[in-house]
Amino acid sequence: MESLYELSSRAIRRLYDARINTPPVLDMDTYFPDGHRFRDAWEVIRGEALAILESERPIPRFHEIMPTQAEISATDGRDWRMFLLKVYGQDIRTNQMPCPFLSELLSACPDVISATISFLAPHKHIPRHSGPFRGILRYQLNLEAPVASDGRPAAVLWLAGDEHRLASGEQLLWDDTFPHEVWNRSEQTRVALLLDVRRPELPLDLRLLSNAVTKGVGMVVRWRGFS
């Protein structure tokens, strides 16, 4: 039986689907121009991310943070670790301390509501799935992208029928409500910055709904003690 959250998510998704007609990959200049600020500073951000990976600081697996995500995070015995910096508007201060440059950049970009450094273990596969909410877009900046024997990036994002292979320093803005899955077909960890950003230019009613959803999840985050 579906939970109340699943039923409400489906209802919200239907409402957005009826009003928004954009492709899986979106134009950065139109939908998230601040993305270029992260891309331009990717080597500095990469240095902070690799320092975290090499430190003794524990980095939880995704399903240890959100048990409901076990079906995409805990399927093959390989790790997908997430270092949370911001979650639905709530700053994770203890995690921001070792990332001063990235944290300052995040504070200057108000459309970013969540920020995570994602560490995808060698040969990890994230099964096909879809996000629930079109009011938010996913920004991805690869910081450490392993290279395959043919010279192409070894980590693959399959999104709505197309493959995307981002090299180190390359970015993509996409709608995660489209079906997608990920492979790391290498012997190295893929490191990426993942941001959730507000979708701009929503009709007023959808913008109010988006703000309400974001605020509601943020209250849950605060209650669980992430901030």
pTM reported for the whole predicted model: 0.86
Q: How far is CA 3 from CA 6, 14, 24, 68, 151, in A?
A: 5, 17, 27, 12, 45
Residue 166 CA to residue 47 CA, distance in Å, equals: 18
* Domain ranges (residues) in the chain: 4-224
The answer as to CATH 3.40.50.11030 being correct for domain 4-224 is: no
Q: Is 137 helix (H, G, I), strand (E, B) or coil?
A: strand
DSSP per-residue letters across 96-136: HTT-HHHHHHHHT-TTEEEEEEEEE-TT-EEEEE--S-TTE
Residue 98 CA to residue 54 CA, distance in Å, equals: 12
pLDDT at 116: 97
Helices and strands per DSSP (H, E), number in the chain: 9, 10
List the pLDDT tens digit at each of the 227 positions of the chain: 334 344 445 555 555 555 678 899 999 999 999 999 999 999 999 999 999 999 988 899 989 888 888 889 999 999 999 999 999 888 999 999 999 999 999 999 999 999 999 999 999 999 999 987 788 899 999 999 999 999 999 999 999 999 999 999 999 999 998 999 999 999 999 999 999 999 887 655 555 555 555 554 444 444 444 54
Instruction: With beta carbons less than 8 A apart as the criterion, state whether 153 and 147 touch.
Output: yes
